[in-house]
Amino acid sequence: MENSPKKRPLDGIRVLEIASMVFGPLAGQYLGDMGADVIKLEPPEGDLTRSIGPRRSPRMGAFFLTSNRSKRSIVVDLKRPEGRKILHRLLAKTDVLLHSMRTPAAARLGLDYETLAKTHPSLVYCHVTGYGDEGEYGGRPAYDDIIQAASGLAMLQQVVAGQPRYIPTIVADKISGLHAAYAIVLAVMHRMRTGEGQQVDVPMFETMAAFNMIEHQWGHIFEPPVGNMGYAPVVAAARRPYRTLDGYLSLLPYSDAHWRRFFELAGEPQIMDDPRFTLFASRQVHFREVWDEIERQIGRKTNAEWLRLLTPEDIPFSPVNSIEDLRDDPHLKSVDFWSVREHPTEGSLLIPRNPLRMSASPPDITRLPPGLGEHSAEILRECEFDDESAHLMLAVGGVCAPAP
C-alpha cells in the first residue's frame, strides 16, 4: 500500500502539518493521497480528534481516523527548546508548512512567515484560520458552527427548519480544507516554475461567504441590486425531497423534454398543456405551483415504482438515502468505493476511496492513519539526529514522548 504502482502528482513533495481538528488535517490528507510525504507534528497529547468518537484503542478515535490517513506522525513538544530544534531541522527538509495555529502562538515559536521566509525563501507556507489576521474580525477564534452562522449558511436553514440551524455536517471545515489543498498545489506549481515560495492564507469565513454567494448573490450581482439575494427555488423551499407512499424521492426534471416525459410517466401528460408548465421561463415564474404539482405526483407511488419508471429515463432523480444506505449502495459497490484495510493496531477499517479519477497519476491511500508518534524515530533519523540524542528524545518524559 505504501508503494503505488504509478507515480502520483505530489511524489517528492514533503508537507509538515501542524494542525488539529478537521480543516487543516483534511487538507493534509488530500495532499498525502496525491503522493506528498505528509508529516503530522503533534503535541504530546496528540490531535484533539484522537479522543473523539468510537475507538478500539486509546487515541485512535473514529474522528481522527477519517481525516488523517496517508501521513506519518511525530510527537514534538514545541514548548521546549529541544522541540523547537527538531522543528527547525524538519523545516529545513520541508517544501510545505501547513498549520492552524493562531498567529501570536506561531510567532512565539518563530513560525510566522516573515521569520521563516528569511531562511527558507522557497517554503510554501499555508495558514488555515477561521478568520484571517486582517480586517475587522482579524484573529478571532472560530470553528465550523461559528462560520456556518457568520457566512449566512445557518440562516438559510430557516426555510426548512423554521429557525436558523446548522447543516448536520462540518461543511465549512470540509469545503475550506478542499480550498487549502488546491491553494497549496497552486503554490507548489508556482515554486516549481520560479523557485519562489509564498504565504498562502485560507480563512474559513471568506471561503464560505464566497461559496454561498455562487447561487445566492442573485439580484445583488448587479450594482445597484436588481433583486433580492437568494436563489428563489431554494430559499422558498420549493425544491425539496418529496414523500412517496413509502419513503422520499429527489427529482429534478430540468429541460422541457424532462418535464413532458415525467408527466407521461405519472399518467397525466395533459398537465404540460398548462402554460405555467410548458416552457422553462414560465416554470421559473410559477415555480411554487410547479413544484407543488411535482409533490402531488410523487406521493401517488412507492419508491420502487418510481425507481422502475425513472431508471431507464434521462430524468435526474435519486431515492433519499440515509448515510447508512451508502455502505451498501449498488453504485458505490460497483466502483469499489469501499475497501477493507488491515490497520496494525486498529484491525479492519472500512475506508472510502479518494473520489478523484486520474489515469496517469491516480491518488492512492498511501498509509493508514498513524498512531501517536508512530514515526517519531524514523523522522528523527531523517533529521540526522544521532542514536543517543534520539533515544533521549523518545524516552519517557522526552520531547518526543507521547503524554501518558
Q: Is-catalytic flag, 145?
A: no
171 C-beta neighbours (distance < 10 Å), count? 17
pLDDT of residue 146: 97
Q: Tell me what the mean pLDDT of segment 184-213 comes to.
A: 98
Angle at 135 between CA 129 and CA 136, to 5 degrees: 105
Q: Maximum distance among all alpha carbons in the chain? A: 85
pLDDT of residue 184: 98
At 281, which amino acid appears?
A: A
pLDDT of residue 333: 96
At 250, which amino acid appears?
A: S
**Position 181 confidence tier, pLDDT thresholds 50, 70, 90:** very high
What the block records as the C-alpha cell of 137 is 474580525
157 vs 315: CA distance, rounded Å: 27
In three-state secondary structure terms, 74 is strand
pLDDT of residue 5: 61
Report how far Cα 105 is from the mean position of its chain's Cα atoms.
Answer: 25
87 vs 72: CA distance, rounded Å: 15
55 vs 294: CA distance, rounded Å: 45
Alpha carbons within 13 angstroms on the beta-carbon side of residue 109 total: 21
Q: Tell me what the mean pLDDT of segment 282-300 comes to.
A: 92
What the block records as the C-alpha cell of 49 is 480528534
Residues 79-91: tens digit of each pLDDT: 999 999 999 999 9
- For 337, counting Cβ atoms within 10 Å of its Cβ (0-12 exposed, 13-18 middle, 19+ buried), the class is middle
pLDDT of residue 101: 96
From the candidates 33, 173, 273, 364, give the one annotated as an active-site residue: 173
pLDDT above 90 for 237: no
Give all domains of the chain, ordered by start, each with its CATH number: 14-212+335-396 (3.40.50.10540), 242-319 (3.30.1540.10)
pLDDT of residue 356: 94
pLDDT above 70 for 3: no
